[in-house]
Each structure stands twice: as structure tokens, then as C-alpha cells.
Amino acid sequence: MLFRVDRESSVPLADQIAVQLRVAIAADDLAPGERLPPARELAKSLRVNMHTVLRAYQQLSDEGLIEMRQGRGAFVREDAGAALLRVSELVTQLVAEARKLGLAPADVHARIDRLMEGTA
């Protein structure tokens, strides 16, 4: 999967990585059971601190999307789909709120796109 981080963004680097991993899991770009790149490697690739990547992995682990196996790295959970249901619920809530405020779908899309690209 493609990772892209922006140091000048107001979104913390760990959050940027976490968002991209969430999107990849939701889009099946990262399949259940698939191993994530080792934190040290990904940190080198993106030229960020390893703890930044570990923080992103921890976020996803807390959300039940991935599991950290001692000494073996991080893996997408087989039941990552269940956690994604929660995302779907949140999206439903978001759509309801947007309608209430009279926001156009394009506005909502643009906001989501900006957040997901880590440039918001």
C-alpha cells in the first residue's frame, strides 16, 4: 500500500499514517491476516521516527483493526471487518449530521478527502 506523510500538515504524523492504514484496510488493499511493514522499516521509508509509526500502529491496535504479535510484527486482524462496521456506523452518523446542516455531498467528500490525504 501507498504511504504519504506531510511534515507541514497540522495533522500529527502518526495520525496521518493511521488514517491511511484504516483506508487501506477498509478498501481491502490490506487483506485480513496481512503483515504490515515493520515499524522500523516504514519509519526509515518515510523518514520519520520509529515511535511515530508505533503510535499509529497502537491506535489501530486499540481500534481492533490490527494486532501486534510479540517479536513478529503487526498483522491486519482476521476480524478487521467487525471493527470496520463501527466506521460504517460513524459514516452513517456523519451523513445524517451533514444533511441536517445542509452540506452538499461534494463538500463532505472534499472534507473527507482532505483528512484522508493528511492535508486538512
Partner 1 sequence: MTLARRLLAILTLWAPGALIALTWLAWRDRLPAELPTHWGTSGPADAVTSAPVFFGWLLGIATVAAVVGSVLVLVPLSGRWVQRAIGAAAGAVAAFVLSMWLGSTVTSLDVSDPFTVELGAWVLLTVMAPCYGLVPLFLLPPGTSPPVEPQETVKIEPLVPADSQAVAWSRTISSWLFIGMTVLLLALGALLFAQPIMRDGIAATAWTLAPYCAVLILVAVFCAYRVTVDWRGLRVTSLLFGISLKRIRPDQIAAVEAATLEPTQWGGWGYRIMPGRSAIILRKGPGLVVTQRNEKQFAISLDRPAEPASILLGLIANPEPSAEARR
Instruction: Quote the radius of gyration of the chain (alpha carbons, Å).
Output: 15
Judged by CB under 8 A, the residue of 3, 67, 103, 111 near partner 1 is 3
Phi, psi of 67 (to 5 degrees): -130, 140
We find the least distance from the C-beta atom of residue 104 to partner 1, in angstroms, to be 29
Cα 114 to chain centroid, rounded? 13
Judged by CB under 8 A, the residue of 40, 41, 78, 79 near partner 1 is 41
Judged by CB under 8 A, the residue of 10, 27, 47, 62 near partner 1 is 47
Q: Letter for the amino acid at 63?
A: E
We find the least distance from the C-beta atom of residue 112 to partner 1, in angstroms, to be 20
Q: Is 6 in the site for partner 1 (CB under 8 A)?
A: yes
Q: Is 48 in the site for partner 1 (CB under 8 A)?
A: yes
- One-character DSSP codes across 72-93: TEEEE-TTHHHHHHHHHHHHHH
